[in-house]
Chain A
Amino acid sequence: MKNGKFLIAPLLLWLGIFFAIPLLIVVVVSFAGRTPYGQVIFNWTLENYVRFFEPLYLSIFADTLWVAVLTTVFTIILGYPLAYYIAQLPKKWQQPGLILVMIPFWINFLIRSFAWVIILRSQGVLNTLLIKLGFITAPLQLLYNDTAVMVGMVYSLLPFMVLPIYVSLEQLDRRLLEAAYDLGATPFTAFRKITLPLTLSGISEGTILVFISSLGMFIVPEIMGGAKAALVGNLIQNQFLSARNWPFGSALSIVLAILSLVLITIYYKALAAGKGGGKDA
C-alpha cells in the first residue's frame, strides 16, 4: 500500500505543477481587474462574470453550443458506419484501417486546415475539377462560411468518434448476433436491439470527446471561416491578445469549463437513467 502511494507521487507532482497550479492561476485572475494598459490588478471583483451575462457574450456561447452539438451529431452519423466497416474487416485489415483514420494526426492540425483551404478555395482543387468536368461554370464559394467551419470541425474531430466506437464494436460478443439471427431477427432488428445498445458506451465516449473539443475550437473558424464566426474559443483568444483583458478571458475560460462539466454530468445522468429504464422494461 505504502509503496503504491510512493509510485503515484511523481504523477501527482506532475498534475499539481502542470494542471492544478495553472488552473488556480486562471481562477484567481478571473476575479481580478485590469489597468487601462492591460496589467492585471488584484482588486477582487465579480465584474468579469457579470459581463459574461451580457446578451452579446451569451449569444456567442449559444452559437458555440449549437456548433458543438451539430459537430457531434455529424461525427456520429459519419463515424459510426466507418467504425462499423473497419470492425467488420478481416482481422489483418483492421489495423491498417485504424491507422488510416489516425494518419492525419501525425500532421500538424494547422497545416491540415490550410490544406482544406487549398482544396476548397475558388481556384482550388475541387472547384477546378468541377469546372473542368463541366458541372459548373463559375467557382462555388465553398470557404469562409458556416458550412466550411462545420466541414473543418467534423473533419478534425471525426477520429475521436471513430476510435471509441470501434473499440466498443470490437468488444461486441458476436454470438449474441448469431443468436438473434437464429431466432429470426432481420439484420436491422439485430442491429437496433443488440449492436446499437451494446455500443452505446462507445458513442457516448466519442460524444464527450468530440463535444468538449469542439467547444474550445478556434483554429477552424479562424482559417476556414474567414475569422467571421466568433466562437467562444476565438473570443477568449481575443481577450488575451488584442483586448489585453486577461481577467475577462480567464472568467470566460472558467465559465466554459464549468459549462462543460455541467453538461457532461447531465449527459451521464441521462445515459444512466436511460440504461436503468431499459433494464426495468
Chain B
Amino acid sequence: MKKLFILLSALLVLAVAGCGGDSKQSTSGGEPQVLNLYSWADNFDPAVIEKFEKTYNCRVNYDVFANNEELLAKIQAGGALYDVIQPSDYMVTTMRKLGLLEELDKKALPNTQNLVADLRSPSFDPEGKHSVVYAWGITGIIYNKKYVKEIPETWSALWKPEYRGRVILLNDNREVIGMALKKHGRSNNSTDPAAVKEAVDDLKQLAPHVLAFDTDTIKQKFIAEEAWIGTIWSGDASFVYKENKDVAFLVPKEGTTIWADTLAIPKGAKHKELAHKFINFLYDPKISAQNYEYIGYSDPNEKAVPYHSKEYNDDPILKVGAAAIASGEWLTDIGPALPMYDRYWTELKTGK
C-alpha cells in the first residue's frame, strides 16, 4: 500500500539520481568518491544534491526507506553500506542504545551552528553527539473554516459531536495516544499504565467519530474537504493550505508532539569525511534555503531566512508551527511499553 507508493517514487528518484551521476562521470577525471545516502523519499532538492556532487567531485547514491523500522533492520544487517542515514527522533534513541551510530565530529560541522536554538539539544540526543536535526515538524489541529466555526483551541475540540464522521487522526499509535495523553496533561512518552489507559479510554469515545486514520494521503482528504478537522503535521498542513485556503492550522495549548528527521552517520561508515562534508553542506544558509523551498517544510536554519522567498517566509502555517516549537515534546523510544501501546492501538482500530 503506502510502502508501494513510496517505493514507486523511490524508483523515480533513483532513476533521476542515477542519470545525474552518469553524465558527470564523463566530465571529471578519476574515480569520484561515492556518498551512500539512505533516507526518506523526496527528502532533498535534487539540484542541491547535484551541487554537492559538483563541489566535492563525488557521486551521491540515494537509497530510500519507507519507515524507521526498515532503516533499523537494514543498518543492523550491515550498516557499513551507508555513509549518511536519516533516522527520526525516537529511532535516534534506539540506534544510540544499540550502538549503531558514529559520534559526529563537531569541528567538521561548523554550519550546524546555524540551527535554531530550540532544535540543538533535543531530548532524544541531548548533546547532539550522534545526530543533527534536519527536517522537523509539529503536530497540530487542521480544520476547515467552512465547517468548523469555533476555533478548536484544545484537543477536546476533536471530540465535539458535530464533527462526527469528519475527523481524521494520524495513522500512528504514538501520535494518537500521545495526543490524548497531552489532552490529559501528561507526557506523550508516558509509560504509566494508568495514564495510558485513561488516554486510550478517552480515545475510544472518539474512535466512532473518526472518518479515517491516515498519514500518507491525509493531505488529499483535507484538500477535497472529505474531512473537516483532524491531527496533522505542520508541513503537510502547509501543503494543504496552498491548495485549499479555507483550512487553518493551530497547535492546541495543552502541548503537542514535535518530530524530526535527523542526519546521522552509521557505525563503520566507509566515507566518514565525505559524510561530514555532506551534512555541513546542507546547513549552508543558501543551500538550506534552496533545499527547503523544494521540500516545503520549516527550515531549521536561522541564517537561511534572508535567502528564502517572501512567499515561504510569510507562510502562515509554517509560522504557526515555528512559533509553537517550545510547546512540543519529542517522542522518545518507550522500549518496554511499546507492546502496551500496540495492544491499545489494535483495540482502538477494531473498536474492541
Using a CB–CB cutoff of 8 Å, the interface residues on chain A facing chain B are: 36-39, 55-57, 59-60, 63, 108, 110, 113-114, 117, 121-124, 141, 143-144, 218-219, 222-223, 226-230, 234-235, 238-245
A110 to B69, CA, bound (A): 22
Residue in A113, A121, A242 whose CB lies within 8 Å of B69: A242
Residue in A39, A122, A222 whose CB lies within 8 Å of B225: A122
**Residue contact A36 to B212, C-beta cutoff 8 Å:** no
- B12 within 8 A of partner (CB): no
- B2 within 8 A of partner (CB): yes
**Residue contact A59 to B350, C-beta cutoff 8 Å:** yes
A244 to B229, CA, bound (A): 30
Residues of chain B from 309 to 352 with CB closer than 8 A to chain A in the complex: 333, 335-336, 338-339, 342-343, 345-347, 349-352
The B interface, classified by DSSP as helix, strand, loop or mixed, is: helix
14 contacts between A and B (CB under 8 A): A36-B338, A55-B352, A56-B347, A121-B224, A143-B226, A219-B1, A226-B212, A228-B213, A229-B350, A230-B349, A234-B349, A242-B172, A243-B342, A245-B342
**Residue contact B2 to A59, C-beta cutoff 8 Å:** no
B196 to chain A, nearest CB (A): 15
- Closest A residue to B334 by beta carbon equals A36
**Residue contact B345 to A36, C-beta cutoff 8 Å:** no
Most A-side CB within 10 Å, residue of B172, B345, B350: B350
**Residue contact A37 to B212, C-beta cutoff 8 Å:** no
**Residue contact A60 to B69, C-beta cutoff 8 Å:** no
> 0/1 per residue, B137-159, Cβ < 8 Å to A?
00000000000000000000000
Residues from chain A with Cβ under 8 Å of B210 in the complex: 226, 228
**Residue contact B67 to A56, C-beta cutoff 8 Å:** no
Contact A240-B338, Cβ < 8 Å, known A227-B214, A235-B346: no
Residues from chain A with Cβ under 8 Å of B72 in the complex: 38, 244
Residues of chain B from 95 to 128 with CB closer than 8 A to chain A in the complex: 97-98
Instruction: Known pairs A37-B97, A110-B8, A121-B221; list 9 more (Cβ under 8 Å).
Output: A59-B350, A108-B4, A226-B212, A227-B212, A228-B213, A228-B351, A235-B346, A238-B346, A243-B342
Residues from chain B with Cβ under 8 Å of A57 in the complex: 346
Using a CB–CB cutoff of 8 Å, the interface residues on chain B facing chain A are: 1-2, 4-5, 8, 67, 69, 72, 76, 94, 97-98, 165, 171-174, 210-214, 217, 220-221, 224-226, 333, 335-336, 338-339, 342-343, 345-347, 349-352
**Residue contact A226 to B211, C-beta cutoff 8 Å:** yes
The A interface, classified by DSSP as helix, strand, loop or mixed, is: loop
**Residue contact A245 to B346, C-beta cutoff 8 Å:** no
Residue in B4, B336, B342 whose CB lies within 8 Å of A110: B4
A161 to chain B, nearest CB (A): 23
**Residue contact B338 to A227, C-beta cutoff 8 Å:** no
Residues from chain A with Cβ under 8 Å of B349 in the complex: 227-230, 234
**Residue contact A123 to B224, C-beta cutoff 8 Å:** yes
Residues from chain A with Cβ under 8 Å of B345 in the complex: 238, 242
**Residue contact A36 to B172, C-beta cutoff 8 Å:** no
Q: With contacts defined as CB atoms under 8 Å apart, how many contacts are there between chain A and chain B in the complex?
A: 99
**Residue contact B69 to A122, C-beta cutoff 8 Å:** no
**Residue contact A227 to B213, C-beta cutoff 8 Å:** yes
Residue in B174, B217, B342 whose CB lies within 8 Å of A238: B342
B10 to chain A, nearest CB (A): 14
Residues from chain A with Cβ under 8 Å of B342 in the complex: 238-239, 242-243, 245
A143 to B97, CA, bound (A): 43
**Residue contact A241 to B69, C-beta cutoff 8 Å:** yes
Most B-side CB within 10 Å, residue of A122, A240, A242: A242
**Residue contact A37 to B352, C-beta cutoff 8 Å:** no
- Closest A residue to B342 by beta carbon equals A243
Contact A241-B171, Cβ < 8 Å, known A37-B335, A59-B350: no
**Residue contact B336 to A144, C-beta cutoff 8 Å:** no
Residue in B98, B212, B338 whose CB lies within 8 Å of A228: B212
**Residue contact A144 to B346, C-beta cutoff 8 Å:** no
**Residue contact B224 to A222, C-beta cutoff 8 Å:** no
B193 to chain A, nearest CB (A): 16
Residues from chain B with Cβ under 8 Å of A223 in the complex: 1, 217
**Residue contact B214 to A56, C-beta cutoff 8 Å:** no
A124 to B333, CA, bound (A): 40
Residues from chain B with Cβ under 8 Å of A222 in the complex: 1-2
- Closest B residue to A243 by beta carbon equals B342
**Residue contact B69 to A240, C-beta cutoff 8 Å:** yes
Contact A121-B338, Cβ < 8 Å, known A60-B346, A227-B214, A228-B213: no
**Residue contact B67 to A241, C-beta cutoff 8 Å:** yes
- Closest A residue to B76 by beta carbon equals A39
Residues from chain B with Cβ under 8 Å of A144 in the complex: 211-212
**Residue contact A37 to B333, C-beta cutoff 8 Å:** yes
A9 to B72, CA, bound (A): 37
Residues from chain A with Cβ under 8 Å of B347 in the complex: 56
Residues from chain A with Cβ under 8 Å of B213 in the complex: 226-228
A245 to B69, CA, bound (A): 11
A242 to B212, CA, bound (A): 18
**Residue contact B224 to A110, C-beta cutoff 8 Å:** no
A36 to B172, CA, bound (A): 19
**Residue contact B173 to A110, C-beta cutoff 8 Å:** no
**Residue contact A110 to B98, C-beta cutoff 8 Å:** no
Residue in A55, A110, A239 whose CB lies within 8 Å of B5: A110
